[in-house]
A and B are shown apart, each in its own frame.
Chain A
Amino acid sequence: IAGITQAPTSQILAAGRRMTLRCTQDMRHNAMYWYRQDLGLGLRLIHYSNTAGTTGKGEVPDGYSVSRANTDDFPLTLASAVPSQTSVYFCASSPLAGGYNEQFFGPGTRLTVL
């Protein structure tokens, strides 16, 4: 069982380029999340999806978009990357959004925008 996988592991990107970070889970979890983690700021929610077909905005959604066409996949797209989007990005999933359901995190993608 793979759990949650993210790709790529790391990426260096020129400013202005479009980039999609991939996230796939094989646990049939309903809820999925994207976070960015920056030194001193902790994890901040970018976008989330409580169930396939629905998405919502988190704390820092500007410059990012997501889609949830099926249960397993939750890609995060940067339409036109900027240096302030340099960060470590974590995807997470949870069986359900509420209740005693913790979030399981993927290994992360380290993104550098130059």
Chain B
Amino acid sequence: GQNIDQPTEMTATEGAIVQINCTYQTSGFNGLFWYQQHAGEAPTFLSYNVLDGLEEKGRFSSFLSRSKGYSYLLLKELQMKDSASYLCAVRDQDYKLSFGAGTTVTVRA
């Protein structure tokens, strides 16, 4: 099974950078995903890492270290619309996803 930890809440100012950390313990690793979920809506895909290193996608970047069981999601040039919950999810060898409880990011003006 998977044990996935991420902070519950983070607050940052518009235009700033925020880093959301995710640590995991897994019996079999087959990729790590980050999803964004606005209140009352469905999760939407942000990024995928399966090899060590940084994946950059516009204002969002995601990093993975498999040896450390660690990932982070970096949100740059924060905008008010980035206020949402960010979910870290680990896929196992049977292709099932396990999600962390999510990190609620609040962007202040």
Q: For chain A, which range describes its interface: under 10, 10 to 19, 20 to 34, or 35 or more residues?
A: 20 to 34
Q: Across the interface, which residues of A come within 8 angstroms of B95, CB to CB?
A: 31, 50, 97-98
What number of A-B contacts does a CB cutoff of 8 Å give? 48
Q: Across the interface, which residues of B come within 8 angstroms of A106, CB to CB?
A: 42
B45→A102 contact, CB < 8 A: yes
**B98, CB-defined interface residue at 8 Å:** yes
B8 to chain A, nearest CB (A): 8
Stretch from B10-18, B56-64, B69-77, B99-107 contacting the other chain: B99-107
A42→B45 contact, CB < 8 A: no
Best-surrounded residue of A42, A106, A107 (most CB of chain B within 10 A): A42
Q: Across the interface, which residues of B come within 8 angstroms of A43, CB to CB?
A: 43, 87, 89, 97, 99
**B30, CB-defined interface residue at 8 Å:** yes
A to B CB contacts below 8 Å, 10 in the list: A33-B97, A42-B99, A45-B96, A59-B1, A98-B91, A98-B95, A102-B33, A105-B42, A105-B44, A107-B42
